[in-house]
Amino acid sequence: MQRSATNKLRSLPAKQALFVEPMECLSVARLPEGSQWLWQIKLDGYRALAVKSGSAVTLFSRRGKSLNRQFPHIVERLADLPDGTVVDGELVAIDEQRTP
């Protein structure tokens, strides 16, 4: 990261990490073109947001419900995240052939 970008980040006010409602996927017939667009392949899993606040990790569904009981092994693996981290991702089961 460039020094000026690092300084800008440090100048931002500190806030507690909280649930942020994720953007929904949009089905389209054709992908947009241009260098300003990024996209990813949609995997069939659970959309989840992990929030590390203090020593606690909460794994949220896209609707804001806790998934900690359903996925305790994921919560445990995220325990070393830095305080204030929010990770948006997809929980996907992979079989022996490494396919979802």
CATH number at residue 73: 3.30.470.30
Q: Do residues 87 and 50 lie in contact, with contact meaning Cβ atoms separated by under 8 Å?
A: yes
pLDDT for residue 17 is more than 90: no
Could you give the 3-state DSSP secondary structure of residue 61?
strand
Is 26 domain-assigned?
Answer: no
Q: What would the mean pLDDT of 53-74 be, rounded to a whole number? A: 93
Q: What would the mean pLDDT of 2-14 be, rounded to a whole number? A: 69
Is 58 domain-assigned?
Answer: yes
Which residue in 8, 15, 42, 52 is the catalytic one? 42
Q: How far apart are CA 5 and CA 31, in angstroms?
A: 31
Dihedral of CA 22/27/33/38: which sign?
Answer: positive
Q: What would the mean pLDDT of 63-74 be, rounded to a whole number? A: 95
- Check residue 52 and give its pLDDT: 93
- Check residue 1 and give its pLDDT: 47
Is 37 domain-assigned?
Answer: no
Q: Do residues 9 and 84 lie in contact, with contact meaning Cβ atoms separated by under 8 Å?
A: no
Is 79 domain-assigned?
Answer: yes
∠21-84-61 over CA atoms, to 5°? 30
Query: Which residue range forms the structural domain that includes residue 71?
Result: 42-100
Active-site annotation holds for 8: no
Is 16 domain-assigned?
Answer: no
Is 28 domain-assigned?
Answer: no
Number of domains in the chain: 1
* pTM (predicted TM-score): 0.64
- Check residue 76 and give its pLDDT: 96
